[in-house]
Amino acid sequence: MRTLRLILGDQLNAGHSWFTNQNEDVLYLMAEMRQETDYARHHIQKVMAFFQSMRTFAAKLEEAGHRVRYYRISDSDNPQDLIRILQNSLKEAGASRLEYQLPDEVRLDQQLKQFASETDVEVAAVDSEHFYTSRYELTEFFKGKKQLVMESFYRMMRKKHAILMQGGQPEGGQWNFDKQNRKKWKGNPAIPDPLVFNKDLSSLEEEIRGSGAEFMGNVDATAFPWPTSREESLEVLDYFCDFLLPHFGDYQDAMHDEESFLFHSRLSFSLNSKMISPKEVVDRVEKVFREGEGQVHISQAEGFIRQILGWREYMRGIYWREMPGYAEKNSLQNHNALPEFYWTGKTKMKCLKSSIDQSLSKAYAHHIQRLMVTGNFALLIQAHPDEVDAWYLGVYIDAIEWVEITNTRGMSQFADGGLLATKPYISSANYIGKMSNYCGKCPYDPKKRTGESACPFNSLYWNFLDAKREHLSGNPRMGMMYRLLDKINPEEMQKVRLRAQEIIERPDDF
Ligand code: FAD
Ligand code: SF4
């Protein structure tokens, strides 16, 4: 009996048990397709990174003696649609069985289930053998609980997988060193250049652009920077452990207009495409911490491991617990459009300009830029979560719905009404000024609330609290902010509202 095994673009896990033995009766199927380039308007670097990584993966499988049917985006016989590709390939191979790894997106999960229910061939789904947790482990863990607190999930994960533990207690005597991880970067310690690969992928870019799909952002295809193989992904991990991890935690929340990556790992694409596994990243960081003769402090190692063992697995669990309904959530009833400058970077606001320019040129911004600059502004102008999701799903190299929508709609836009975050992540210029050098280079005054030169974030912040009073004033974590709001005199508040209204109506003028 011949078997066709489907490998999706984000299932590049060379360590999967499928590949342990070669089998003449198994044909692996991989396909670049318009279905996947077109479900959002993606950054060109994102599509290039996925397709190049898929090609490298397919070539490695063939080298190892496996049989592979690969559809390139430019192949004239490519139907560009998953179901038709499956139908054609099953027929071509004379296969009577289809196997697939469980997809991480509801969209693909539903499509494959539907196909399985209609086809004559036998269909079986297997685990992708990537995550620490199964799809519904978080659902089980929080059964009967109203609030899904990440910290309790994270502690369970630390104990269950014996990570950074010492005699049943957390290493270093506490679970979380977050409070130590809030330093502003002022030029010291020096940041090593990011490890980039400078591959010439010009012909791939041409092929992709020739497909007719629409993209955002830009690329220098003669010097493509991202890892597109397991070997390169491991190099990025080595580089991170050798040069960046010693300061990761300290500057995790810092922002700087000349340093896009600071001490961040740039591992998200390698992880989300499954070229490397979360376990090997976490184990490696723990080993460096334990064997590194004090070079890596517990606060750095814990800060990093929390992102992967905690946040990443937590977001995956929330996704499967809440979808598909989560994609409809808009608890704050926001309906405005996202400004045009999210696609062009044309704004005078330095924090937004820096974060967006960098997103468009590098397909990357780190967590705090996503959360406290672009996400914060989108929420303050009360943009519709659909608009915000579409942008985040397109622009970043690592954007796959399971981890994009939970971070965007949930954490950043509070559209789930507080299921995931206990209060909205909003701020005035104060936080941005504290964590970055942006305000010093901005034409707007971070100290002013109203008037021509006032920082737009300031009036927007107070206006937002005022406008969303019915949704937020009962939240105990917002009590102090509402008390401060109520101290603003009515005349000043009227000016705040007018200024905010102006910005909301014409954001591209600011
Ligand atoms: P580092 O700072 O070096 O962190 C290490 C790893 O931890 C990351 O590679 C990532 O795998 C994991 N991680 C860190 N924070 C999170 C988080 N909040 N949720 C899940 N994993 C996390 N991450 C994505 O992978 N894809 C997305 O589409 C995505 N969209 C986001 C949208 C918004 C609005 C926000 C606020 C965050 C989003 N994140 C997303 C989380 C985070 O910003 C990125 O994972 C991180 O910036 C990737 O860069 P890095 O690899 O250098 O991360
Ligand atoms: Fe951003 Fe306001 Fe600071 Fe300018 S002053 S960088 S707009 S926070």
- Please write the tens of the pLDDT for every residue from 79-101: 999 999 999 999 999 999 999 99
Separation of alpha carbons 396 and 399, rounded Å: 5
Report how far Cα 266 is from the mean position of its chain's Cα atoms: 11
Is the pLDDT at 180 greater than 80? The verdict is: no
Atom 2 (ligand 2): residue with closest C-alpha?
455
Summarize the chain as % helix, strand, coil (round to 5): 50, 10, 40
Atom of ligand 2 nearest to the CA of 441: 6
- Give the Å distance between the CA of 351 and the centre of ligand 2: 6
Is the pLDDT at 181 greater than 90? The verdict is: no
Which residue among 437, 455, 509 has the greatest number of ligand 2 atoms within 8 angstroms of its CB, and so is best to mutate? Answer: 455
**pLDDT, tens only, 422-437:** 999 999 999 999 999 9
Cβ burial of 210 (10 Å; 0-12, 13-18, 19+) is exposed
Check residue 182 and give its pLDDT: 84
Q: Is the dihedral of CA 289, 294, 299, 303 positive or negative?
A: negative
Q: Please give the share of the chain, as a percent, with pLDDT higher than 70.
A: 100
**pLDDT, tens only, 451-460:** 999 999 999 9
Separation of alpha carbons 178 and 306, rounded Å: 10
Separation of alpha carbons 357 and 344, rounded Å: 8
Atom of ligand 1 nearest to the CA of 411: 36
Atom 10 (ligand 1): residue with closest C-alpha?
268
Check residue 98 and give its pLDDT: 98
Cβ–ligand 1 contact at 411 (below 6 Å): yes
Cβ–ligand 2 contact at 446 (below 6 Å): yes
Q: What are phi and psi of 172, to 5 degrees?
A: 80, 0
Atom of ligand 1 nearest to the CA of 267: 51
Separation of alpha carbons 125 and 111, rounded Å: 13
The β-bridge partners of 166 are 169
Check residue 1 and give its pLDDT: 66
Separation of alpha carbons 84 and 477, rounded Å: 51
